[in-house]
Amino acid sequence: MLETRDFIDSETLCRELDASESSVRRDLDILEQEGLLRRVYGGAVAVQSLPGRAFDYAAESVRLSEEKDRIGKLTAGLIEDGQTVILDGGSTVAAVARELASKSLHIVTNSLPIAETFESLRNIELTLTGGYLDPRLRVMLGPFCEQMLGAIRADAVIMGIGGITESGISNNNTLVVGSEQKMIEVASRVILVADHTKFGRGGMIPVAPLNAAHVVVSDAGLGSEYVALLRDNGIQVLLA
């Protein structure tokens, strides 16, 4: 709702979400602690990263940055020298990329910020996918990107996610979904990286079922119910 309006009152939230005032108040407190909105008298207002910029790379980079850095360090330990690794776009994967800079790898990515991390490193062979450049996400997407990805094989893909529930992995951007599905298809190992706020919320478009992932790396704030859900689907869970 706050992606489409600057202010929303508590009465409207209760009515449109069919929730009690106490439930709405608790949820607003949690979302404010996570930096997703600001509480004001009578309701909530969008913070700078939300209106029209819900998936903006620059805004996402500063959200839960400490958790993402820890996820990055832990995930980098899963990758061995000499491997070919696909790196998806997004701020959490970018945190992984910074930790991979000391390894000897062939990196394939559709992300400009990630490419910039490696551009001057002689120990990294870097391949960019090409495709349409989304100026907000700073990733290359679309048919050309998917065609290039379909022509390779990789030891692993490290992906961020828009949302994850018992129904599977999802996102809200059709072009992102297409490239992510192709990444999963060509990688021998699928590693998902996501802070705890991505769990329990579903995106508009399904990307893959849960069991498409081999490993999920999140932070210590991830609820035990989601840890159990992932493990029940045969997924290794690592908490940073």
Q: Which domains, and CATH codes, for the chain?
A: 7-50 (1.10.10.10), 58-239 (3.40.50.1360)
Q: Contact at 8 Å (CB) between 199 and 164?
A: yes
Mean pLDDT estimate for the chain: 89
pLDDT at 137 over 50: yes
pLDDT at 67 over 50: yes
The encoded tokens of residue 134 equal 């989304």
Mean pLDDT score, 99-121:
96
pLDDT of residue 47: 66
| DSSP secondary structure of 126-165 | EEE---EEETTTTEEESHHHHHHHTT--BSEEEE--SEEE
135 vs 100, residue with greater confidence: 100
pLDDT tens digit sequence for 29-59: 998 888 788 887 778 876 654 434 445 555 5
Percent of the chain beyond pLDDT 70?
Answer: 90
Read off the pTM.
0.77
pLDDT of residue 178: 93
Percent of the chain beyond pLDDT 90?
Answer: 68
Distance CA 207, CA 215 (A): 16
